[in-house]
Amino acid sequence: MLRDVPLSFHVPKTSLLSMPTAPPERPATPKDAATVLLLRDAAEGVEVFLQRRVAGMAFAGGMTVFPGGGVDERDADASLSWVGPPAARWAEWFSCSESLARALVCAAVRETFEESGVLLAGTRAGVVTDTTPYAGARAALVSRELSLAGFLAEAGLTLRADLLRPWANWVTPEQEPRRYDARFFAAALPAGQRADGATTEAESSGWRRPADAIEDAAAGHSMLMPPTWYSLTELDRCASVAEVLATRRQVPKVTPRLVVDGERVRVEVDL
């Protein structure tokens, strides 16, 4: 972890809506989720794919985020064809069961495809370069008419877990009525593919330099949750996607705290 990154973030109370600043007696149980830092190399350095969520969303409405979402129970399907680190290895990285680890990797691949159109799959010999033939399957995944395992089997594709790297594990503060235990992954945009951001959950999408995204948030032009801000700060220290993917990381579980600070709420984290 980087030692010079601020470990507290001031968040206006208005952006937290009516969230109480004191933890409830019985905090909501976090739902398992997967988030992907989708990366590419550009002339001025690393760029990451970001989406501004629709303002009316029940969770993180209006926030600028990485693609991701909750785990579907079908994501744990062990029949799915898989290349790369086995579920047992991911379980070690994320300190969870093998079944959950498998589900998290599958959710990362599924959510990335649903929200950005980028498919981290292929054959044992190569990665998909054109996702156009799978547009119908993408829509069926979004509507939950089709599972990821079912889609890949029908298409004759294999999930490429070797394209992903473990990045972080953040849990929503206890004050939130909707909470997620989100595991963050990093992945490079596969050659030939493009991220389109064609999802009803986002009002806008695009590639940004991490420093520019942070600057926008600091100027009040966008809103970032602490995990997004912190991850962007880390990415900004890397000169290339290869450097990001080569970084050896520990993945502790981090749960931010909300502390009232005058007219604002300070989000504190221990890293």
Q: Residue 14: its pLDDT value, please? A: 47
Calculate the average pLDDT of the chain. Answer: 87
d(CA 20, CA 246): 40
Those residues whose C-beta lies under 8 Å from the C-beta of residue 189, and which sit 6 or more positions away, are: 38, 39, 40, 49, 118, 195
Residue of 56, 66, 271, 11 whose CA lies nearest to 185: 66
Say how far apart CA 57 and CA 70 lie, in whole Å: 14
Tell me whether strands 158-160 and 82-83 are parallel, antiparallel or unpaired: parallel
Average pLDDT over residues 221-236: 90
pLDDT at 59: 59
pLDDT at 268 (0 to 100): 78
Which DSSP string do the residues of the chain spell out, in sequence order? --TTS-SEEEEEGGGGTT--SSPPSSPPPPEEEEEEEEEEEETTEEEEEEEEE-TT-TTTTT-EE-SEEEPPGGGG-TTS-EESS-HHHHHHHHTS-HHHHHHHHHHHHHHHHHHH----EE-SS-B-S--GGGHHHHHHHHTTSS-HHHHHHHHT-EEEGGGEEEEEEEE--TT-SS-EEEEEEEEEPPTT-------TTEEEEEEE-HHHHHHHHHTTSS---HHHHHHHHHHTT-SSHHHHHH------EE--EEEEETTEEEEE---
Pairing between strand 164-171 and 8-12? unpaired
- Structure tokens, 40: 């590419």
**Comparing 160 with 63, which gets the higher pLDDT?**
160
The candidate with the shortest Cα–Cα distance to 11, out of 231, 226, 230, is: 226
Of the candidates 30, 50, 25, which has an alpha carbon nearest to the alpha carbon of residue 211?
Answer: 50
In angstroms, the CA 217 to CA 215 distance is 5
Q: Match domain 30-252 to its CATH number in 3.90.79.10, 3.40.50.2300, 3.30.365.10, 3.50.50.60.
A: 3.90.79.10
Q: What is the pLDDT of residue 56?
A: 62
pLDDT in tens, 77-103: 999 999 999 999 999 999 999 999 999
How far is the C-alpha of 115 from the C-alpha of 51, rounded, in Å?
9
* 136/62: higher pLDDT: 136
User: Percentage of residues in the chain with pLDDT exceeding 70?
Assistant: 86
More confident: 271 or 28: 28
What confidence tens digit (pLDDT) does each residue in 196-212 have? 977 776 677 899 999 99
* Token pair recorded at residue 41: 């190399």
Give the Cβ contact number of residue 222 at 10 Å. Answer: 19
